[in-house]
Each structure stands twice: as structure tokens, then as C-alpha cells.
Amino acid sequence: MSGTDDLLVEAAELAVEIGQGHPPTLLDVRWRLAGPPGRDDYTAGHLPGAVFVDLDTELCGPPGSAGRHPLPDPATLQAALRRAGVRQGHPVVVYDGGDGMAAARAWWTLRWAGHRPVRLLHGGFPAWVAAGLPVDTDVPAPTPGDVTVRPGGLPVLDADAAARLAADDRAVLLDVRAAPRYRGETEPIDPVAGHIPGAANLPAPEYVTGGRFASATALRDRFSAAGVTDGQPVGAYCGSGVTAAQTVLALHLAGRPDAALYVGSWSGWVADPDRPVATGAQR
């Protein structure tokens, strides 16, 4: 069973770690789907010593047939992480503007890349500020890191694997977008509305509120109600693989480190017009 000790860190706990002389590498990944760029927030104030890493251009590949936030090129990701000072085996803490989505995708990406000691600051930058902890505007120049990106640290679904999972009665594929998008009633971003046939809907606000996760017991109960049972393969997707990365983190907290992410998600699925699309409330 996964605990929270290697997944989440509270602001007060992180402040103690920073003050002990061997702080974790801090990555600021603040991001908004519709902008403005998170770098502006970073420039206005960030955790002391934190380095900004851009979700769109450094943690993800360019948008295209694989979705709006596809897997990054390993060499490109490695260069970005080394520029940010990420060192082999040294702890990393990621944080965002508070909703936990960009930080979860950063957490997922680093673990997928083989860097296990990475945690998410629970509640993000607002939690740090609310705790009365110091904020800095100086931009650090970190010593370049030596991390080596080794893809495969977390399970990944492509479109074919997602389709098989959704069609398997002994498995569950979670669509964590809002219910109207799942039902195909509206689609504000992608060109086609609906969901992957066989996927079950579990909107993200049902298991995370304001960027803070429920207890492991509450998470297990909520996922169980959505059809996720022990030993049953489980995967997740959203619009472009960001919110669903948060779902994978929640599943880890609930004791399911085998949960897979369909990185292309809906934006990747509908890039191929031959893929089937379902509408309505039923799987």
C-alpha cells in the first residue's frame, strides 16, 4: 500500500527540509491551460531556490497527433531537468499554483523518466504563502544536474491499449473530465465531443478539492464506487493528460501504483477520425 511520505509534502515539513542544509531540488511548474504563462507568476514570487520549468515546452512534447501534451522527447526532457539542477537520486519537490494538476503531471513525468524521489507540495504555492513562509524573487542559477532520463518508470497507455482497457470487463478506464464533456454535450477545447467507448466517468473534483487530496481511505472508497477494485487493471485519461496525471497520483495514494496514464488522452484519441466515439452517460 502506498503512503503519502514519498508522494506529498506539506508546506511546514518542506520548510524544515529546506532549512536543514540539504534541501530538495524545487521545481516551480505553475501553468494555466488558457494562459497567461506561469513564468510570470514565478517572476512575481516563488519558493526560495525554486527553478521554473515550463510544462508545455519542457515537460511535454509539441502538440500534434499524439495529443496536446504528449510525452516529451527523452533527450529534450533530460536537458531541461539538468538545466534545472535535477541530480541523480536527489529528492525533487514540484509545485504549481494550487490546483495540483501541473504539479501532478510534473511528478508523473519525472517518475516516468525513472527519477523516483519526487514529491508534490500539497496545496502548491498558495499553501506555502498561507503558512507564512518566505517568498523570493531572485532567479537562482543552479549547478547543472546529472539526472539520466530512463523512460518506463510508470505505465503508459497508447490509444490501442486504452481501447483494450475500456473494452475489458475486468478492467476500468477512467475519464476524469467534467460530466457534460464525457456525455458529449459540450467540448470547449477539442474538435469532437464524447468519450472513449467503455470508459467510466469520474470527474476530478470528486476526489481532489482545491488541489488537496482526500485521505487514502476516502480515495479508495471513491475509486471503488467508480468500479476500481483490487487487482483490476486501471487507467485514466482527460483532455490532454494533465488532469489524469493527478488521477494517477490519487490512485497511488489509494494504493494503486500500477495505474496507467493515457498520455494522449481525448485530444490524442480524436486526432484519428477513424477511432470510435461514444456519447451519453453510459459506458
Q: Catalytic amino acids?
A: 238
Cell numbers at residue 228, please? 476500481
26: enclosing H helix or E strand: strand 25-28
Q: What is the spatial distance between Cα 91 and Cα 99, in angstroms, rounded to a whole number? A: 22
Radius of gyration of the chain (CA): 18
Handedness of CA 106, 236, 126, 4 (dihedral sign): negative
Q: What is the spatial distance between Cα 51 and Cα 42, in angstroms, rounded to a whole number? A: 9
* Cα–Cα distance list, 162 to 103, 184, 256, 260, 263 (Å): 24, 19, 17, 9, 10
